[in-house]
Amino acid sequence: MLTIGYIGNGKSTNRYHLPFSMNRGHLKVKTIYARNPDKGEWEKVPGVLYTDDIEALMNDKEIGLIVVCTPIESHYAYAKMALDHGKNVLVERPFMMTKDEAVSIFQYAKEKKLVIQSYQNRRYDSDFLTTKKVIDSGKLGELLEVEMNYDYYRPQTPNSVTHFSKYNSYLYGHGVHTIDQVFSYFGEPDDVHYDVRQLLGSGRMNDYFDLDFYYGTHGGPPGRASKAILSA
């Protein structure tokens, strides 16, 4: 039995994590920390402790895994705090703000002999797994190009943004899912070309991206694509 504690009580915890974690016999959700645990946006789960005391979560010896479901700006600090308290850590995407933070926190977990990982649930989506199965069957022959589109029409989202932040944008917030799918199947590309734009104008979020991942036809795993394109 793995006992879990969550940091954050927003959409990520309630819509993406709890429905899975609460329906597995080997998982037990014990505690959810939030600055305002009585906020009524999400219905409380019976039997789960809601608290605004972060130390109560960190010092609970029964909890073996802490899941960080907060805005990206606090991911590194909460992850390090959990590791300092001897907890394994799962961090919502985007994992960290920078590559340096990611390298640092992985190394820190290794030194602590603990596990830290990014929550990339889209590796297990049925459409992606079905596509992998078809490719692996060899029925498509040699792949020359794979195109993956992320169609997300929510005009109220970019229209509500009045300043630019690369961390709170479609590329960081949504593109990471499909990028991870590309990397998980094809591996690290030989070259990358990208076109990222703010179609709504300067000072707004990047609401358009087209990423090309290039894979050589020689030297890579057999049957893998020579070129993969990600666009949205």
Tell me: do 39 and 93 sit in the same domain: yes
Domain end position, chosen among 99, 119, 139 = 119
In tens, the pLDDT along 55-72 reads 999 999 999 999 999 999
pTM for this entry:
0.85
In tens, the pLDDT along 38-53 reads 887 899 999 999 999 9
Tell me: do 107 and 132 sit in the same domain: no
**Residue 217 binned pLDDT confidence (cut-offs 50, 70, 90):** low
% of the chain residues with pLDDT over 70: 92
In tens, the pLDDT along 106-122 reads 999 999 999 999 998 88
Least confident of 44-58, 85-99, 157-171: 157-171
Tell me: do 16 and 95 sit in the same domain: yes
The secondary structure of the chain, three-state, reads CEEEEEECCCHHHHHHHHHHHCCCCCEEEEEEECCCCCCCCCCCCCCCEEECCHHHHHCCCCCCEEEECCCHHHHHHHHHHHHHCCCEEEEECCCCCCHHHHHHHHHHHHHCCCCEEEECHHHHCHHHHHHHHHHHHCCCCCCCCEEEECCCCCCHHHHCCCCCCCCCCHHHHHHHHHHHHHHHHHCCCCEEEEEEECCCCCCCCCCEEEEEEECCCCCCCCCCCCEEEEEC
Q: Are strands 208-214 and 191-197 parallel, antiparallel or unpaired?
A: antiparallel
Range of the domain at 19: 2-119
Query: For residue 142, what is the domain's CATH number?
Result: 3.30.360.10
Tell me: do 168 and 197 sit in the same domain: yes
Closest CA to 151 of 129, 170, 130, 131: 170
Tell me: do 69 and 93 sit in the same domain: yes
pLDDT of residue 51: 97
Tell me: do 102 and 133 sit in the same domain: no
Number of domains forming the structure of the chain: 2
Tell me the average pLDDT of the chain: 88
Query: For residue 11, what is the domain's CATH number?
Result: 3.40.50.720
